[in-house]
């Protein structure tokens, strides 16, 4: 009976552990910046690739980069400066279309014709997509006019040009209403509809320890509003999530399962031996004969070892007889026979 109870307890523990694991790996972990866990359980940590600012007199963190990453634009006409999960180390000023208070949070930018353009503000949210990681910066400098939207508007105005009377009446009414609106509402609307530059970084795993983390420019959209980069790093390779302080580790889980197994084994065995076999005393323990034999075997080994070591002690030579009389010999034989009979009864049990 108690083996069934043991199996049920182990199944319950395994089910609870599996449920807890699924609940923790079904979502992406974004609590810690530049750290993520995919739905398959793969753990990513790009914090060692973040360039840090070293103050004067301060000690440089071991292995941490201290300069920004440079991506060559080649045919684009300029180079790009960016950092990973942090603002650029080298300060930038006079950024087009970005408030002065946000200059210190810029994570990617480029300079063209003497003007500095931001590609987005600092972000540490990593998004695992299969074997790749994606990091996106938003809120950069304003983009240029939407070329596709301008083309659609030109075609639309040409297609409905033959409705002159209705268009003139509608346009005059709309013009009058728009003139009555305050300039403030117009500015707020323009601010909401302003498209800003962004940068999307795709990380690829590179297990070569001799190759340093490097960024490369992939391309941009026709409106020069969305920019795409690729970064190869050994830290972008999936790994095992380290043990968090305060959480239950593998060793603790094994100890809990072992403790529950021992408790169920002893409690179930005692219940079975007491109710079914009507045993009392130490014989209530499950497999009492086995454990008693192991205990006696251990005692015999201990006696043999101690007696062998006692030969090397001084003032001891050979064995001493207990009694030289015939009666003493008979008594010793009776004791030996009684001991043998007792051992035979225990083994029969």
Report the alpha-carbon distance of residue 316 to residue 302 in Å, rounded.
19
Q: How much is the pLDDT for 5?
A: 44
Select the more confidently predicted residue: 254 or 86: 86
Which pair of structure tokens corresponds to residue 264? 């169920």
pLDDT interval class at 191 (50, 70, 90): low
Range in 20-29, 98-107, 182-191 the model is least confident about? 20-29
Q: How much is the pLDDT for 7?
A: 45
Other beta carbons less than 10 A from residue 306's beta carbon: 9
Select the more confidently predicted residue: 44 or 289: 44
Report the alpha-carbon distance of residue 191 to residue 97 in Å, rounded.
11
Backbone angle region of 278, left / alpha / beta, with phi > 0 → left and psi within -120 to 50 → alpha: left
Nearby residues of 269 by Cβ (< 8 Å), 6 or more positions away:
2, 284, 285, 286, 287
- For the ranges 49-53, 333-337, 344-348, the one whose mean pLDDT is highest: 49-53
Strand order in the sheet with 226-233: 126-129, 132-137, 198-205, 226-233, 214-220
Q: Are 123 and 136 within 8 A, CB to CB?
A: yes
Q: Are 115 and 92 within 8 A, CB to CB?
A: no
Query: What are the angstrom distances between the C-alpha of 153 and each of 160, 164, 173, 283?
Result: 11, 17, 20, 94
Range in 59-68, 119-128, 156-165, 318-327 the model is least confident about? 156-165
Q: How much is the pLDDT for 59?
A: 77
Report the alpha-carbon distance of residue 185 to residue 135 in Å, rounded.
34
Range in 55-59, 63-67, 210-214, 264-268 the model is least confident about? 55-59
**CATH level 3 topology of 31-148+191-236:** Cation-dependent Mannose-6-phosphate Receptor; Chain A (2.70.130)
- Asked if residue 130 has pLDDT above 80, the reply is no
233 phi, psi to nearest 5 deg: -155, 150
| Angle between the N-to-C axes of helices 2-25 and 250-275, in degrees from 0 to 180, rounded to the nearest 10 | 160
Select the more confidently predicted residue: 220 or 339: 220
% of the chain beyond a pLDDT of 70: 66
Q: How much is the pLDDT for 51?
A: 92
- Asked if residue 163 has pLDDT above 50, the reply is no
Report the alpha-carbon distance of residue 77 to residue 112 in Å, rounded.
8
Mean pLDDT of the 307-332 span: 58
Mean pLDDT of the 182-204 span: 72
Q: How much is the pLDDT for 173?
A: 46
Mean pLDDT of the 60-87 span: 90
Kindly state the DSSP code that residue 141 receives in the 8-state scheme: S
64 phi, psi to nearest 5 deg: -85, 135
Helix (H, G, I), strand (E, B) or coil at 345: helix
Question: What is the Cα 225 distance to its own chain's centre?
Answer: 33
């Amino acid at each position: 009976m108690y083996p069934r109870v043991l199996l049920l307890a182990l199944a319950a523990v395994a089910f609870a552990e599996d449920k807890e694991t699924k609940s923790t790996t079904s979502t992406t972990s974004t609590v810690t910046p530049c750290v993520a866990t995919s739905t398959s359980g793969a753990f990513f940590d790009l914090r060692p690739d973040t360039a840090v600012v070293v103050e004067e007199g301060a000690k440089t963190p071991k292995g941490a980069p201290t300069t920004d990453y440079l991506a060559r634009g080649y045919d684009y006409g300029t180079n790009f400066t960016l950092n990973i999960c942090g603002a650029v180390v080298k300060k930038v000023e006079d950024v087009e279309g970005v408030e002065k208070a946000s200059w210190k949070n810029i994570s990617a930018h480029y300079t063209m014709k003497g003007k500095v353009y931001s590609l987005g503000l600092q972000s540490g949210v990593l998004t695992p997509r299969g074997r790749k990681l994606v990091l996106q910066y938003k809120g950069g400098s304003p983009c240029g006019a939407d070329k596709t939207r301008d083309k659609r508007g030109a075609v639309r105005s040409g297609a409905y040009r033959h409705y002159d009377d209705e268009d003139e009446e509608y346009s005059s009414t709309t013009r009058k209403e728009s003139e009555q609106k305050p300039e403030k509402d117009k500015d707020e609307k323009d601010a909401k509809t302003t498209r800003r530059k962004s940068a999307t970084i795709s990380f690829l795993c590179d297990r070569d320890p001799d190759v340093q983390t490097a960024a490369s420019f992939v391309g941009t959209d026709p409106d020069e509003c969305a920019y795409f980069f690729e970064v190869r790093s050994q830290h972008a390779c999936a790994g095992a999530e380290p043990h968090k302080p305060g959480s239950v580790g593998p060793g603790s889980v094994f100890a809990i399962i072992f403790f529950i197994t021992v408790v169920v084994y002893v409690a179930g065995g005692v219940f079975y031996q007491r109710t079914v076999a009507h045993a009392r005393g130490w014989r209530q323990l499950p497999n009492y004969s086995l454990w008693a034999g192991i205990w006696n075997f251990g005692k015999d080994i201990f006696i043999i070892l101690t007696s062998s070591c006692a030969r090397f002690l001084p003032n001891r030579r050979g064995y001493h007889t207990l009694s030289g009389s015939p009666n003493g010999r008979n008594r010793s034989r009776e004791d030996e026979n009684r001991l043998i009979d007792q051992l035979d009864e225990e083994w029969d049990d």
